[in-house]
Amino acid sequence: MSLCPVCWWEDDGQEDADAGDVRHTVNGALSLSEGRLYYARCGASHPRFLPYVRKAKDSEQ
């Protein structure tokens, strides 16, 4: 598993098929769908992670 420095989501293997499920693992009570929505709104998988994220590089867009 790896933590994304752009959005602060830790890859736990969740995919589109189960993106709405909350796994209560490394990402706490967030589903992948919620993390994506927060990222679109504020630039991090949750607003509390804003101090830790960085802007995406061109190759990461």
CA–CA separation, 6 and 22 (whole Å) = 21
According to the model, what pLDDT value does residue 26 have? 87
Phi-psi region of 22 (alpha: psi -120 to 50; beta: other; left: phi over 0): beta
Q: Which amino acid is at 32?
A: L
Alpha helices in the chain (DSSP H): 32-42
Q: Which amino acid is at 57?
A: K
pLDDT in tens, 22-54: 999 889 999 999 999 999 999 999 999 999 999
According to the model, what pLDDT value does residue 22 have? 95
CA–CA separation, 36 and 46 (whole Å) = 9
pLDDT in tens, 5-21: 999 999 988 999 999 99
More confident residue, 61 or 10: 10
